[in-house]
């Protein structure tokens, strides 16, 4: 009988921990320089049944609400040297991107056994049901998603503690994508309202990244070399993939759509070096081979030895990561630039400086492509120990050469918070305003073609249905934390000037995404 009672009590405690729904279940008190939290104390009658050996000390849960519903115990960022990104969606820095908290627990003891040997394995499933309920070329709906598998290897544990293997990791991510592109269906070839779509190829296993990472001097100097998505190492921030729109997630637009700065899930052969002289400041530079093909590494991502890789993309970024006041209000302030020395066709001028649409002459080849960006976010009110635990205001501006990029200006502003005020501290909520302006060169070519009754020319943002000007998107989401490793996120997007034109009525898109980290 006593064994039965113990079993029931343990089951109840497990369920209460696995499905937190109120603030009492997660300690989200304001933080000080040293996070002081009392160990979890069970009621006296529970301790008498379980015995003193079952009385555990629960580590603080840092609820950085992300698409992965990650709630593992984490050292607050202001007590450690920050990693590469502090981003929930992107390459890890000394750890797996999906974390170590899984919906299926420790896999019957398999996870602790692997991790004690330096192997971090995770399987993640993301599914998004989306439809435009009004506007656009036509009304439609799609289901798009992916299955992702990551393997992260801590060589110091694999090889047993060795001085040269300390802070030496191998990171690898493979995905399988499926579904249809809703934006294309309702007439928008310039934007994607679904976070998970595109560039994965019709293959079983598409390689996103595979690279080694090594750090020195207590992680103040960090080097990554291998197959790397450049657009998620640079011009990225912790909050971008809380939103669905692809102009945000996996690197910002327009840089991520340039060959020299392609973002997730495309990769480039290259390396990234980050130097952090102090905890709040980093300087980062990267050098990557530029692929002239539509798919980097082929449609599978595994074909690294593609032809035409003679040109290079150079990226640099400087970032300041302050934490203001006694509540450590986190901020990220970043400025960066990219220069790609490959040659690209001018969107308007021919070899004589006239319109190639009208003359039929070859387009002028422009030497080099440039992009610059500024990304800022600041926590205004803290609600817990995590880097994303609070009311956050953020935004970015990015520019790309208008002679070769269809979009050459983009601007975005966001406001995000957790659900702590209504006793849902692991939930997240946010609104965003996105705007993109099309380049003068692209517009002049489209006007010239329209005047002659010719098909409108496109560029790196697809074929237009009309003469383009600008496109504006309003987005709002709410992320429900259901359990560790399980989240559901309804999302609303209003697309003004679909595809940058006035050909179609403004579109209203409703979607719901579910993410499961097994």
- Higher pLDDT pick, 100 / 353: 353
* C-alpha–C-alpha distance, residues 478 and 149, integer Å: 26
Burial class (CB in 10 A: 0-12, 13-18, 19+), 478: middle
* C-alpha–C-alpha distance, residues 333 and 322, integer Å: 8
pLDDT computed for residue 264 by the predictor: 78
Question: What residue has token string 């971090």?
Answer: 120
Asked if the structure places residue 342 within a domain, the reply is yes
Domain extent at residue 219: 81-105+120-517
Backbone angles phi, psi at 48, to 5 degrees: -70, -35
pLDDT computed for residue 134 by the predictor: 96
Asked if the structure places residue 34 within a domain, the reply is no
- The pair of three-digit structure tokens given for residue 256, joined into one six-digit string: 């991520």
Asked if the structure places residue 362 within a domain, the reply is yes
Q: Above 90 in pLDDT, residue 233?
A: no
Asked if the structure places residue 430 within a domain, the reply is yes
* C-alpha–C-alpha distance, residues 441 and 444, integer Å: 5
* C-alpha–C-alpha distance, residues 198 and 191, integer Å: 11
Asked if the structure places residue 53 within a domain, the reply is no
- Higher pLDDT pick, 470 / 61: 470
Domain count for the chain: 1
Show Cβ contacts of residue 433 under 8 Å, excluding neighbours closer than 6 positions: 412, 413, 414, 472, 473, 474
Question: What residue has token string 């208008």?
Answer: 402
For residue 226, the surrounding DSSP H or E stretch is strand 221-228
Question: What residue has token string 């797996």?
Answer: 96
pLDDT computed for residue 230 by the predictor: 86
* C-alpha–C-alpha distance, residues 278 and 307, integer Å: 41
pLDDT computed for residue 71 by the predictor: 64
CATH of the domain at 187: 2.40.160.180
Residue 450 near residue 427 (C-beta atoms within 8 A): no
Asked if the structure places residue 20 within a domain, the reply is no
Residue 94 near residue 167 (C-beta atoms within 8 A): yes
* Percent of the chain predicted with pLDDT > 90: 49
* Percent of the chain predicted with pLDDT > 70: 81
Q: Where are the alpha helices (DSSP H) in 90-240?
A: 110-115, 155-158, 182-185, 230-233
Asked if the structure places residue 85 within a domain, the reply is yes
Q: Confidence class of residue 294 from pLDDT cuts 50, 70 and 90?
A: confident
Show Cβ contacts of residue 105 under 8 Å, excluding neighbours closer than 6 positions: 111
Q: Confidence class of residue 43 from pLDDT cuts 50, 70 and 90?
A: low
Q: Confidence class of residue 384 from pLDDT cuts 50, 70 and 90?
A: confident
pTM to 2 decimals? 0.84
pLDDT digits (tens, 9 = 90+) for 360-383: 999 999 888 999 999 999 999 998
pLDDT digits (tens, 9 = 90+) for 143-179: 998 899 999 999 999 998 888 999 999 999 999 888 8
Q: Above 80 in pLDDT, residue 34?
A: no
Asked if the structure places residue 22 within a domain, the reply is no
pLDDT computed for residue 53 by the predictor: 42
């Amino acid at each position: 009988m006593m064994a039965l009672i113990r079993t029931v009590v343990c089951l109840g405690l497990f369920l209460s921990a696995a499905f937190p729904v109120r603030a009492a279940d997660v300690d989200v008190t304001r933080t000080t320089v040293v996070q002081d939290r009392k160990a979890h104390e069970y009621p006296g009658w529970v301790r008498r049944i379980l015995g003193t050996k079952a009385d555990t000390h629960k580590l603080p849960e840092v609820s950085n609400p992300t698409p992965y519903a990650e709630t593992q115990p984490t050292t607050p960022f202001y007590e450690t040297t920050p990693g590469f990104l502090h981003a929930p969606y992107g390459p890890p820095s000394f750890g797996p991107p999906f974390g170590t908290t899984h919906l299926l627990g420790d896999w019957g003891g398999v996870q602790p056994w692997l991790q004690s040997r330096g192997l971090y394995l995770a399987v993640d499933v993301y599914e998004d049901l989306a439809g435009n309920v009004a506007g656009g070329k036509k009304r439609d709906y799609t289901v798009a998603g992916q299955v992702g598998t990551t393997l992260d290897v801590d060589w110091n544990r694999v090889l047993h503690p060795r001085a040269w293997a300390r802070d030496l990791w191998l990171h690898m991510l493979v995905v399988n994508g499926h579904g249809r592109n809703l934006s294309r269906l309702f007439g928008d070839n310039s934007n994607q309202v679904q976070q998970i779509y595109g560039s994965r190829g019709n293959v079983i296993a598409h390689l996103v990244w595979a690279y080694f990472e090594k750090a020195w001097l207590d992680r103040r100097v960090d080097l990554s070399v291998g197959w790397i998505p450049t657009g998620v190492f640079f011009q990225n921030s912790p909050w971008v993939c809380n939103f669905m729109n692809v102009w945000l997630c996996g690197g910002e637009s327009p840089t991520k759509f340039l060959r020299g700065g392609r973002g997730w899930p495309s990769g480039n052969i290259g390396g990234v070096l980050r130097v952090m002289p102090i905890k709040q400041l980093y300087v980062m530079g990267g050098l990557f081979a530029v692929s002239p093909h539509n798919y980097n590494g082929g449609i599978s991502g595994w074909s690294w030895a593609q032809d035409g890789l003679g040109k290079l993309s150079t990226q640099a970024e400087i970032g300041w990561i302050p934490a203001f006041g006694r509540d450590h209000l986190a901020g990220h302030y970043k400025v960066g630039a990219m220069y790609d020395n490959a040659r690209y066709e001018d969107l308007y001028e021919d070899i004589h400086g006239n319109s190639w649409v009208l003359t039929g002459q070859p387009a002028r080849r422009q030497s080099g492509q440039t992009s610059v960006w500024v990304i800022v976010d600041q926590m205004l009110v803290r609600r817990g120990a995590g880097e994303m635990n609070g009311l956050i205001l953020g935004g970015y501006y990015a520019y790309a050469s208008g002679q070769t990029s269809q979009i050459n200006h983009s601007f975005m502003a966001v406001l995000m918070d957790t659900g702590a005020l209504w006793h849902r501290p692991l939930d997240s909520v946010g609104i965003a305003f996105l705007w993109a302006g099309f380049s003068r060169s692209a517009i002049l070519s489209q006007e010239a073609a329209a005047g002659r009754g010719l098909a409108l020319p496109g560029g790196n943002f697809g074929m237009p249905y009309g003469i383009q000007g600008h496109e504006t998107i309003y987005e709002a989401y709410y992320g429900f934390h259901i359990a560790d490793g399980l989240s559901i996120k309804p999302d609303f997007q209003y697309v003004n000037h679909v595809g940058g034109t006035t050909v179609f009525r403004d579109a209203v898109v409703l979607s719901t995404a579910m993410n499961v980290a097994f």
